[in-house]
């Protein structure tokens, strides 16, 4: 067999599995697979089947992560951890998250078929909730693995009023057992996540893969404005305390501020007005904010300025305001030693080594609390992501798989692993 044949076979297997997983959704014709839903469970079962076919043991942990383990030369060795997430945003693309899980499983399958065991174990984790769609707080699966899951999140509610605690029980999990998902720091030699770039850089430069330098931090907030509901026909404009027009002013202020600061991005992705009727002045509005930039100090300063601007707009309009931080992640650098091994694998496969930062969040940010991490980016079409048009070409999927497989086979734990 030439080197190219197994890579082509791996690429075809990965794309077939991406397509099969994409069919598991809350609604036919679109991809929506959020945390702790029946479709989330069906996806977990499918992934566990593929893990077992690839020679791994597989189980669901206490938060809903799917964990596959391929033992090394002896049982019980510390592991190289690989993975990404299997939840999606609503009306998602098929590649964000699943590509990293499925490629890692395919690489382990290739080792297994050759009977190859390594001086370390491999764990492949399909993280349960990276997107944070259902309960606003993100990285729930990887934080549980890192032992940093915040138990207060169990009381958060989804849009149907179901608490995370109730949702875990309905999924068959014990909310009191989440600590058991945590891995001891010494048990993980390093973490490598393969992911589509979700941006346009690799495509613009004609490169199939990239080496991530750092993952930008993010702050997510939830804002509630409360005014006074009233009759749309009788309350004169000057006497209204309309929470929705107040929110509109705040949202435009966020846009103007972020446009005025290079590299800063701010998004209001969710909004709900109550009571929600054509002929009633909105008395209460909730909306979310997502603020990101490279550099934690710059992000924190922006969050401070925007909070002050929202409070000022609310005061001017006679609205009450409540602002809560629902999620915060610092910028995390990829570990130099592990990034160098990824770069060496990229070069050995004949690709130019291009380092680039990630503006999107990844499970690697949470795992960095217990292990050094690195990431491989795979080019995607048009930089499109969080959209059904998200797409990666078969050749680029193959390139990513070749780099990951080489990385696994050449992986050398850092001598003084922390
Ligand atoms: C995850 O996709 C995020 O960066 O929000
Ligand atoms: Mn992702
Ligand atoms: Mn995503």
Band of residue 16 on the pLDDT scale cut at 50, 70, 90: very high
**Does 3 score more than 80 pLDDT?**
no
What digits encode the pLDDT tens for the residues 225-266?
A: 999 999 999 999 999 999 999 999 999 999 999 999 998 999
Query: Distance between CA atoms of 193 and 404, rounded to whole angstroms?
Result: 9
**Does 95 score more than 90 pLDDT?**
yes
Dihedral sign (CA 405, 24, 36, 134): positive
Residue ranges of the domains in the chain? 7-215+331-417, 217-329
What digits encode the pLDDT tens for the residues 117-128?
A: 999 999 999 999
Instruction: Specify whether the backbone of 386 is left (phi greater than 0), alpha (psi in -120 to 50) or beta.
Output: left
> Span 55-72, mean pLDDT?
98
**Distance between start and end Cα atoms, the chain:** 40
pLDDT at 2: 43
25 and 92 in contact (C-beta within 8 Å)? no
Among 34, 220, 386, 390, residue to substitute to test ligand 1 (most atoms within 8 Å of Cβ): 386
What is the 88 CA–ligand 3 centroid distance (Å)?
7
Give the percent of the chain with pLDDT over 70.
98
**Does 34 score more than 70 pLDDT?**
yes
Residue 265 Cβ inside 6 Å of ligand 1? The answer reads: no
CA dihedral 243, 245, 246, 250 (to 10 degrees): 130
> Span 356-385, mean pLDDT?
97
Band of residue 141 on the pLDDT scale cut at 50, 70, 90: very high
What is the 20 CA–ligand 1 centroid distance (Å)?
23
In the predicted model, what is the mean pLDDT of the chain? 96
pLDDT at 138: 86
Ligand 1 atom having least distance to the Cα of 386: 2
Which fold would CATH assign to domain 217-329?
Answer: Alpha-Beta Plaits (3.30.70)
Residue 217 Cβ inside 6 Å of ligand 1? The answer reads: no
pLDDT at 94: 98
pLDDT at 66: 98
What is the 177 CA–ligand 2 centroid distance (Å)?
26
Band of residue 90 on the pLDDT scale cut at 50, 70, 90: very high
96 and 88 in contact (C-beta within 8 Å)? yes
Among 362, 366, 380, 390, residue to substitute to test ligand 1 (most atoms within 8 Å of Cβ): 362
Give Cα separations from 249 to 245, 286, 309, 317 (angstroms). 6, 14, 10, 10
What is the 194 CA–ligand 1 centroid distance (Å)?
14
Residue 131 Cβ inside 6 Å of ligand 1? The answer reads: yes
Band of residue 416 on the pLDDT scale cut at 50, 70, 90: low
pTM value? Answer: 0.90
Q: Which CATH number fits domain 7-215+331-417: 3.30.1370.60, 1.10.150.20, 2.140.10.10, 3.40.630.10?
A: 3.40.630.10
Residue 363 Cβ inside 6 Å of ligand 1? The answer reads: no
Band of residue 294 on the pLDDT scale cut at 50, 70, 90: confident
What is the 86 CA–ligand 3 centroid distance (Å)?
10
């Amino acid at each position: 067999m030439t080197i190219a044949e197994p890579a082509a076979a791996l690429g075809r297997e990965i794309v077939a599995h991406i397509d099969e997983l994409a069919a598991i959704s809350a609604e036919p014709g679109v991809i929506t697979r959020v945390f702790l839903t029946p479709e989330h469970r069906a996806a977990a079962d499918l992934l566990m089947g593929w893990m077992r076919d690839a020679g791994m043991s597989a189980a669901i942990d206490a938060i809903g992560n799917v964990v596959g383990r391929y033992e090394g030369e002896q049982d019980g060795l510390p592991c190289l951890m690989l993975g990404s997430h299997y939840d999606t945003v609503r009306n998602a693309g098929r590649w964000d998250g699943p590509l990293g899980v499925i490629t890692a499983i395919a690489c382990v399958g290739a080792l297994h078929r050759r009977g190859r065991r390594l001086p370390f174990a491999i764990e492949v984790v399909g993280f349960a909730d990276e997107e944070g769609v259902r309960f606003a707080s993100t990285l729930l699966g990887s934080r549980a693995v890192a032992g940093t899951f915040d138990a207060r999140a169990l009381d958060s509610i989804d849009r149907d009023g179901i608490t995370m605690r109730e949702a875990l029980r309905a999924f068959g999990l014990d909310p009191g057992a989440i600590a058991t998902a945590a891995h001891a720091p010494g048990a993980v030699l390093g973490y490598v996540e393969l992911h589509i770039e979700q941006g346009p850089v690799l495509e613009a430069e004609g490169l199939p893969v990239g080496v991530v330098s750092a993952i930008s931090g993010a702050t997510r907030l939830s804002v509630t404005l409360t005014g006074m509901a009233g009759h749309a026909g009788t309350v004169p404009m000057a006497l209204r305390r309309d929470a929705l027009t107040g929110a509109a002013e705040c949202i435009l202020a966020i846009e103007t501020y972020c446009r005025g600061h290079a590299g800063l991005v701010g998004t209001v992705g969710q909004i709900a007005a109550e009571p929600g009727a054509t002929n009633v002045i909105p008395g209460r509005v909730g909306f979310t904010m997502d603020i990101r930039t490279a550099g934690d100090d710059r992000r924190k300063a922006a969050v401070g300025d925007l909070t002050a601007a929202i409070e000022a707009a609310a005061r001017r309009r006679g609205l009450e305001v409540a602002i809560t931080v629902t999620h915060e992640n610092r910028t995390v650098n990829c570990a130099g030693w592990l990034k160098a091994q990824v770069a060496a694998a990229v070069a050995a496969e004949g690709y130019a080594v291009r380092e680039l930062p990630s503006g999107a969040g990844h499970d690697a940010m949470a795992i960095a609390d217990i292990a050094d991490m690195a990431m491989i980016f795979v080019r995607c079409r048009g930089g499109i992501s969080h959209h059904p048009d998200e797409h990666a070409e078969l050749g680029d999927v193959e390139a990513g798989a070749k780099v990951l497989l080489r990385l696994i086979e050449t992986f050398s734990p850092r001598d003084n692993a922390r």
